[in-house]
Structure 1
């Protein structure tokens, strides 16, 4: 019974690949215009003549559906055949994406129908990883002598659940990348020394505002404006009062002078 853990691993891989190809088929044919959108994306990759785009697209969808069917058939060696077919199909997809990236073509990836991301390195790595996984599982399934006792229900449930979760992450790769990209763009940028110095340095307008008094209150507080303003009529009245006050003293001084002489 030492080989039983490998049985669960192969079951998880079969489930993962089956869900991935099923999502690809449904995304390309379900909904109005889904297949036409896939044909346009295939034409945008510039790998085929225009007259061959639609037949090749139909062949791709058919091949993906057949892979799903062979992976779930309860027939001896059907799993190995399905895994090998998946590996061949994924190898073709990987080669096509490599050509698109090598040419620098700005093409859209409609692998699962709904996503509309530009073909990038992550798609190449995704397909290459799935290809390696399918080849390894196919060779292991064909050569490993597994016992005929079957698998336990609990282990099968865990393996199927792991395969479904892994397939969901693969199918939603573009959405996950877009989500993280949007979140990182919304984060505030770190404040560098140059930005901080620019923020702390006073601008020309600020220096001008500090040099010019801002209000009449500032003008009154200025040293040149500490003394009250002169009033002409009040000054004349004050001078007249001072002159009148000085007249009696001059008269008394005149009277006292002769008497003393």
Structure 2
């Protein structure tokens, strides 16, 4: 059954993205808090709460994926559903920032990244689709082949790393800005 191998790959993709994100935000909480201010996601008093609750929620998703890997199917569903919920919230915040004009920077993975752009919405939409598919997928029909699972997990992890460095990849291939003559 294809889901038997796709689910572990999808879980590895999402777990990689959320693990790097949680670690980066927890490592630099002041930088993360500063990146939230221009987004104005909520009243100023809520920012300190978001500074620690967002990485905690991301870490909880990663932990749930870990529990699922050890055989707890309900944890897997919770991990995929939690991933979907977080991605929906992040996407709403990014879209509202873009509507006000692009000025806020992505601090998604613990370091100041690019100014939010439509590609960040697209990234979250793709990850959200993966999370929704994982949450709604049928359970495994039989024990999947270990080699197939290993390959899927490795591919998912590599895809997760590519998502994390997406802004760097875009910068690498984007045309250099020309200096203005004045």
Show the counterpart of 1:79.
76
Q: Deviation per CA, 1:66-97: give whole Å up to 9, x if none.
A: 00011110213211111011101111111111
Superposition pairs of residues 12-161 of structure 1, within 5 angstroms: 12-30=9-27, 34-73=28-67, 74=70, 75-140=72-137, 144-148=138-142, 150-161=143-154
TM-score (norm 1): 0.64
Equivalent in the alignment of 1:190: none
Alpha-carbon distance in structure 2 between the residues aligned to 1:134 and 1:113: 22
SS at the partner of 1:185? coil
Unpaired runs of 5+ residues, structure 1, are 187-261
| Structure 1 residue 8 corresponds to structure 2 residue 1 | no
| Distance across 1 between alignment mates of 2:125 and 2:140 | 28
Q: Which residue of 1 aligns with 2:167?
A: 174
Which piece of structure 1 moves more, 109-118 or 59-68? 109-118
TM-score normalized with structure 2 length: 0.90
The answer (yes or no) to whether the contact 2:102–2:117 under 8 Å persists in 1 is: no
Note the alpha carbon deviations across 1:79-120, whole angstroms, 9 max, x for none.
111101110111111111111111115111101012421111
The 5 Å alignment of 1:175-194 reads 175-181=168-174, 184-185=175-176
CA contact (8 A) 2:24 2:111 kept: yes
Tell me the number of residue pairs that the alignment of Structure 1 and Structure 2 aligns.
175
Larger radius of gyration: 1
Deviation at 1:136, TM superposition (A): 1.2
Report the CA distance between 1:22 and its aligned residue. Answer: 0.1
Greater relative contact order structure (CA < 8 Å, 6+ sep): 2
- Structure 2: 5+ residue stretches without partners: 178-182
CA-CA distance at 1:145 after TM superposition: 4.7
Query: Judging changes above 3 Å, is the alpha-carbon distance between structure 1 residues 124 and 145 closer, same or farther for their aligned structure 2 residues?
Result: closer
